[in-house]
Structure 1
Amino acid sequence: MTCSVAWNGNKLSSFTILAIVIGVAMSAGGITLLAIFGRSPELEVTVTNASMTQFNLNSSSKNDNNTLYYNLPLVVAIRNPSRTFSLHYNRIEVGVKYRQQKGTSVALSLPLFDQGSKNITTLHPVLQGQTSSLEETGAGIYSIDVQIAIRISRRPLTGIVFKPKRTCMLKVPSNSNKASPGSSFKDTQCFV
């Protein structure tokens, strides 16, 4: 017994109908997989501690430039909120930006590592550098933007690479004598 359907005056065999149904199902499956695996993972990045630990202010009489040499240790928590996928970290870069001027950028020399689902990884980058325009917002608190660029892939699919970037707008207390006793760093959530 054979099945045939007429389309535009031509008869389609059961094999042709089956091939069309399989093709549509595979296309729908491919689009679904792309929607699931093709999105960038939504990492939750939080700076849980930061402080300015070194202040060396050099003023040169030539141009009346004040150059501040700083040391900014950070504690950064990165959370993988996915219930199903672990993440493979290829590279992490942390940089400082102050008043739209790029400062120090550090590529963390971490070994490649995996982060399981619903897991938090803590990193401890230290940014050192100099700037000519670091100003206090008051009471020994400095406004500094930290930019974090990450290169990751999902496990078990390592062929698709994602490059999420996050910006953390920090209010960093200095460890100098001018900082008020009540000023301490507050956890700062980073955003896209």
Structure 2
Amino acid sequence: MSVKKTVTIIGIVCAVIVVIGGLVSWTTVPPNKPRITVINGSLTQFYLNNNTLYYNLALNIAFKNPSITKPINYKHIETTARYIDERFPLETFTSSPFKQGAKDTNVLSLNFQGQQIVKFSEDVLSQFQSETVAGAYTINVAVVLQILKFSYKPHTLCLLKVPLRFNSTSTSGSFRVTQCSVQKN
């Protein structure tokens, strides 16, 4: 066999190996972690009466796929909202899984509404009273994404300052768009 044919065969074999390696990594490497931003938030009810916290929190959360080539397939999204250490009921999106295309953004609207018996320490009660006077409350939202086909669940924390709305047109302040911090597990 001539040297020219040997070089050609080696080149073809190398090209095939690179293509197969690329296909394997394309199907087994998880997508980029999504960018999560809370784009709007408001409280239409947030008060304490006889150790019962009454709340109505509305949030719009944007999920952006930063990849220019890979979609993200979500199995479901779980969110939990907290005021200090008090946990609101867990909100889980278990409707049909959805696929988010490359560079796409999807917005989910959440509503945490209800009442909960709480026992605030003096420090937390003092903070609650100060925030009531200011008209905006510190709310932390945790988001857990379950991505289909991959065994990791990105965990996210969103640290928010949410204004109390007195009616549909006036608020005690405006909500600031907040970028959440995402970690891969």
Deviations 1:70-108 (A, max 9, x none): 111110100001001111110111101232443321112
**How many pairs are equivalent?**
162
Residue identity opposite 1:86 in structure 2: P
TM-score between the two structures when normalised by the length of structure 1? 0.69
Give unpaired runs (5+ residues) of structure 2: 2-9
Residue identity (%): 37
Instruction: Give the structure with the larger strand fraction.
Output: 1
Do structure 1's residue 146 and structure 2's residue 136 form an aligned pair? no
Query: Which residue pairs with 1:44 in the alignment?
Result: 35
Indicate the structure with greater helix content. 2
Alpha-carbon spacing, 1:170–1:152, altered in 2? closer, same or farther (3 Å): same
Unaligned ranges ≥5, structure 1: 2-17, 60-65, 154-158
Is the deviation greater in 135-144 or in 33-42?
A: 33-42
1:185: how far off?
A: 0.5
Deviation at 1:69, TM superposition (A): 1.4
Query: Pairwise mapping of residues 70-149 of structure 1 onto structure 2 (< 5 A)?
Result: 70-129=55-114, 130=116, 132=118, 133=120, 135=128, 136-137=130-131, 138-149=133-144
TM-score calculated relative to the size of structure 2: 0.71
For 1:52, the aligned partner's letter is L
Secondary structure, in 3 states, of the residue corresponding to 1:83?
coil
Residues 94 and 106 of structure 1 are in contact (CA less than 8 Å); yes or no, is this contact kept in structure 2? yes
Give distance in 1, aligned partners of 2:162 and 2:94.
Answer: 24
Whether the 8 Å CA contact 1:103–1:131 is kept in 2: the answer is no
Counterpart residue number, 2:45: 54
Q: 1:35 to 1:119 in 2, by over 3 A?
A: closer
**Larger Rg: 1 or 2?**
1
* Alignment match of 1:172 (pick from 154, 162, 165): 162
**Whole-angstrom distance in 1 between the partners of 2:109 and 2:32:** 22
